[in-house]
Structure 1
Amino acid sequence: MTAPAGFWPRYAAWSLDAAVVAAATTVLGAPLWSGYCEAMRRGWAAIGRRTAQIMADSALADLNFAGFFRRLLADPALHAALGEVGVAFGALLLGWLLAYAALGAVYEVACVAGPWRATPGKRALGLRVAAADGGRLGAGRAALRYLGGALSWLTLNIGHLVAVAKPEQRALHDRLAGARVDCIDARGMPAWAWAWIGLQLLAALAATAWLSLALQAALEAALDPGML
């Protein structure tokens, strides 16, 4: 007996698969990503040194914050460092996302169109992807479903939230591909899946706190007289 899969089991399954693909993307492209990160580190260090120097020069010259900001905007060395950070960050972000999308496509299509009819994450949650009529979803429509997921993201996740609507509970990309996600496990959402979602929430809070501390440390480093 199958029933349409609910939003939270689908989210838990997706996040498990996303973690697997993200880890593989990071490991396989590690030499490239580390090079971009090193370029960003050098750029940020140069920005901190140059900002501190300009601040000191402005304080000694006229004790005028307006003069400090004018010097910041006109300083070619600072512009060069900002450009280095921007280029490295853009290359890291775009390169990683493209690699993730390509690897994710292979992972999704191979699993959904294969004998499991589900990714490992969906299989762990007792979910299965099928055609709208209940038959097997072929590789072509599995690929269309994966690509259609981009529209769900571009609609600020409204396409994903459509899966809340009963009775079909089909997301936008399911509808585009003529697919559905069924729950084949009558026991429902397991406790470990709720714990996994809770862990993600804690990780998001920790990342926010870390970012705040990192920005504070960067500002303090820029104002440290030892850097002048």
Structure 2
Amino acid sequence: MDTIKHALVLTGEVQPGFVADQVWPALAAYFRMEPERLRNELLARAPISIKESDDLAKLQGLQSGAAAAGAVTELHAIGPDGSVFVLVGNTPRGPVPTSYVEQRVRSGAWPSDISIASVGSSAWRPFIAPSAAPARVPPPDQQATVAFSAVNPGAAAPAADLRTVAAAPGTPMRPVEPLAGSAGLLPEGLIVHAGFWRRFAAYSLDSLILGVPFALIFGLLVYQGFKAAFSGENPGGMFVLLYFLFYVAAIVGSWLYFAKFESGAHQATPGKRMMGIKVTSTSGQRISFGRATGRFFAKIVTNLIPFGIGWMLAGWTGRKQAIHDMMATTCVVFREVEPGRPMPTTRPPMPWYGWVLNILPFVFALLGAVAYGWFMATLLGGMSSMSRDLGNMDIPDMGGTDYSTTMSSSSSDADRAAVQIGLSAILPEVTALQLEAAEALASTGECASDTRASSNTWIGMIELGGAAPDCTITVRLSASSDIPFAARIERIEWTWTGSDWACSSSMDSSYLPWPCD
């Protein structure tokens, strides 16, 4: 004896005398689920099969409990055609048994060409009610009213009070009432809306696209700032202005990137397009540039909420909206969702590169933490070395008496000798520059003005300048750790006096191999 499988269908209707605001919380409690989940996962897609089983008595027990809560459910046999999705009001409903669709069509509640799609398929086709051929009647011990009325499932009722598959065409059933406040809005659920991790992957790719040029520009500014500082220049307010302009450009660039792309023809940034999602209004329409602008700057509020909860709401709410989506009344949906077209029936799987993009930010954060630790260790090591070098210098006390603070007098003498040898090696190059500067002054009456590099590792930069007749040659020593600390970033300057070059230096004269003030 064949066993007939049945499905318990939640129609989304409430029984006469009941109030929907009380029925659905009671039904959620009966099913032991959160009311919000009942609304998002069941009512948003009603009519929908909530239970399929070979045990008819068990399904009738569930039906009785739903009836006590005030919800209308129906029992339907699952035939060889199985279950299908139905497009009602341009919104996918179900899945429901094909026999349920046939009943609705025969009763006149739905047109015979209503669009259906098999479970697991996104191909919609018209449903044509089969001819009223005699159906196989199940044995008495398995027989059930296929469209069992939930008004009083346990008691016999007149045939006119029951909803049957063979209902007369002139007695249409009540259509499923839309949820309060949902008219014109996209339905809730994971099939329509992109969740947190898919959006996070898209944002990671967009951040990478924007971050690379911004990082290069910022790195260049930092490099120029350090270069100016180590050369002894005073950049003044110029670098402050450049940093300010950089941050303004970063904000404006990010705003135009997101607003133009999300309000454009594809309704998506490159990251969103890669992930197959786009931004729409809550009714599925393309948004304007103004709304996209508001959505971008609303992210400031999203970022202000602690622990990233403002972003995480994109994984928790029915329409997967973060705070800025709620403020701008927008949704992030799958590419297949289009106004005036049937809704998809299946959720696209996450592509493999989406998971890679989700992992990358955490990898970068880990590498950044490691790099920061290495940098701090190097910095502290350099400060320790500097402290040892300072300890090797002779510092006079306030009374004018020299007290040696060197850890080793032999080490201090060795540094002094090394500096003198190194500076002696730059003297030929300086002498040649002095002759060149004197000739330029004699021939043009003006001082040579130039900045030059040197192949000598002790020299960081050479500057020729001054105002005639007081021409100057300034040698700025290198900041390299290859030379003793006492000579790093020091300055030695020669000034033309009309007959000779006078020397002055920021270094202790005891380190110089020639007389200098």
Query: What's the TM-score, normalizing by structure 1?
Result: 0.71
More helix by share: 1
RMSD: 3.0
Structure 1 or 2, whichever has the larger Rg, is: 2
| Aligned residue among 335, 341, 351 for 1:190 | 351
Q: Which residue of the partner structure matches residue 135 of structure 1? A: 285
**Once the 2 structures are TM-superposed, how far is the Cα of residue 89 of structure 1 from its aligned partner?**
9.0
Q: Which residue of the partner structure matches residue 151 of structure 1? A: 301
Give the Cα separation in 2 of the matches to 1:213 and 1:180. Answer: 43
Q: Which residue of the partner structure matches residue 12 of structure 1? A: 201
Matched, 1:171 2:322: yes
Distance 1:120 1:153, change over 3 A: same
**Once the 2 structures are TM-superposed, how far is the Cα of residue 164 of structure 1 from its aligned partner?**
1.7
| Aligned residue among 248, 260, 270 for 1:120 | 270
Q: Which residue of the partner structure matches residue 36 of structure 1? A: 222
Q: Which residue of the partner structure matches residue 61 of structure 1? A: none
Are 1:13 and 1:125, in contact at CA under 8 Å, matched by a contact in 2?
yes
Distance 1:14 1:97, change over 3 A: farther
Give the Cα separation in 1 of the matches to 2:352 and 2:219. Answer: 36
Give the Cα separation in 1 of the matches to 2:255 and 2:381. Answer: 43
**Once the 2 structures are TM-superposed, how far is the Cα of residue 97 of structure 1 from its aligned partner?**
3.9
**Once the 2 structures are TM-superposed, how far is the Cα of residue 161 of structure 1 from its aligned partner?**
1.5
| SS of 2:261 mapped into structure 1 | helix
**Once the 2 structures are TM-superposed, how far is the Cα of residue 88 of structure 1 from its aligned partner?**
6.6
**Once the 2 structures are TM-superposed, how far is the Cα of residue 166 of structure 1 from its aligned partner?**
3.0
Give the Cα separation in 2 of the matches to 1:89 and 1:212. Answer: 28
Distance 1:187 1:146, change over 3 A: same
1:52-78 superposed Cα distances (whole Å, 9 cap, x missing partner): xxxxxxxxxxxxxxxxxxxxxxxxxxx
Give the Cα separation in 1 of the matches to 2:262 and 2:348. Answer: 22
| SS of 2:380 mapped into structure 1 | helix
Ranges in structure 1 where 5+ consecutive residues have no aligned partner: 47-83
What percentage of aligned pairs have identical amino acids? Answer: 23
| SS of 2:287 mapped into structure 1 | coil
Amino acid at match of 1:145: R
Amino acid at match of 2:299: G
1:180-200 superposed Cα distances (whole Å, 9 cap, x missing partner): 000236322111111122232
Q: Which residue of the partner structure matches residue 68 of structure 1? A: none
Give the Cα separation in 2 of the matches to 1:99 and 1:188. Answer: 37
1:89-129 superposed Cα distances (whole Å, 9 cap, x missing partner): 9974x654432221011111111111101111001001110
Q: Which residue of the partner structure matches residue 511 of structure 2? A: none
Are 1:221 and 1:227, in contact at CA under 8 Å, matched by a contact in 2?
no
Are 2:204 and 2:361, in contact at CA under 8 Å, matched by a contact in 1?
no
Give the Cα separation in 1 of the matches to 2:374 and 2:249. Answer: 30
Are 1:112 and 1:119, in contact at CA under 8 Å, matched by a contact in 2?
yes
Amino acid at match of 2:295: R
| Aligned residue among 256, 265, 268 for 1:106 | 256
Q: Which residue of the partner structure matches residue 218 of structure 1? A: 379
1:156-214 superposed Cα distances (whole Å, 9 cap, x missing partner): 33221221223111011111111000023632211111112223222211111111111
Ranges in structure 2 where 5+ consecutive residues have no aligned partner: 1-121, 123-190, 337-346, 390-483, 487-517
Are 1:152 and 1:159, in contact at CA under 8 Å, matched by a contact in 2?
yes
Distance 1:212 1:150, change over 3 A: same
Are 1:40 and 1:89, in contact at CA under 8 Å, matched by a contact in 2?
no
Distance 1:127 1:155, change over 3 A: same
Residues 214-223 or 196-205, more deviating: 196-205
Give the Cα separation in 2 of the matches to 1:189 and 1:210. Answer: 32
Matched, 1:200 2:389: no
Q: Which residue of the partner structure matches residue 312 of structure 2? A: 161
